[in-house]
Amino acid sequence: MDLSNKVAIVTGSARGIGQAIALKLAEVGAAVVVNDLGEPEPLESVAAEIRAMNRQSLAVIADVSSPADVTRLVETATNTYGRVDILVNNAGITRDQLVLRMSDEDWDTVLNVDLKSAFLCTRAVMRHMLKQRWGRIISIASIVGEIGNPGQANYASAKAGIIGFTRSVAKEVASRGITANAIAPALSTPR
C-alpha cells in the first residue's frame, strides 16, 4: 500500500492503538496529523517519530468532542497540507460503573468523546472528501459495542453507535469515492 501524497488525521493518537495507526500510516507514506487532548509531550513525541521516518507530521492538541476544536483541527490540516484524505476516529475513553451507580456526567462524557467526536470529525472532513471525490473514514469501535459488558453501558452504547453511524455514513458517501468502515477490536488477554 502506498499512501504517498495522502493526508491523514488520527484522533487519540498520543498512545495505544491511535499511536500505532499513526505510525503505520506514516510508514506507508502519508502525512499524518496526530491529535489528542492533554499534555503536548506525548503527542509531540509521536509527531517527531513520524518526522524521523522522513514523513510530514503535525501535532494538534484538540478536544474532538468540541465543535470549535474539531473545526480548528481540520482547518489546521487543510491549511498546512491542502487536503484531508483519511480520517481515523480513534479518540475514546472509559468511565466504568454499573448503570445503577453511573453518573450523568460519566454517561455524557463517554458518549461525547467516543461517539459525538466521530460525528463531528466525519462531518468536518466530509466536504473536503466530497470535493476530492475520494476519502477513507475509519472509526474504531469495540466488540463491547456488539456484545455488551457489565459496568460499561456508556462505552458499549457509544461503540454500538459508532457501528450504526459508520454504516449510515458509508451509504451516504459510497457513490462519491469515499469509504467508511468500523473496526471492532476485542480485549486482548494475556497468554
Residues with active-site annotation: 155
Q: Could you give the dihedral angle defined by the CA atoms of residues 144, 149, 155 and 158, in that order, rounded to the nearest 10 degrees?
A: 50
Task: Print burial letters for 42-69: b (CB count within 10 Å at least 16), e (below 16).
Answer: ebeebbebbeeeebbbbbbbbbbbbeeb
What is the Cα 188 distance to its own chain's centre? Answer: 20
Give yes or no for a contact between 154 and 146, defined as CB atoms under 8 angstroms apart: no
Give the residue from 37, 38, 42, 13 showing the smallest Cα distance to 25: 13
Q: How far apart are CA 128 and CA 130, in angstroms?
A: 5
Q: How far apart are CA 182 and CA 180, in angstroms?
A: 7
Q: Give, in degrees to the nearest 5, the angle at Cα 20 between 154 and 86.
A: 80
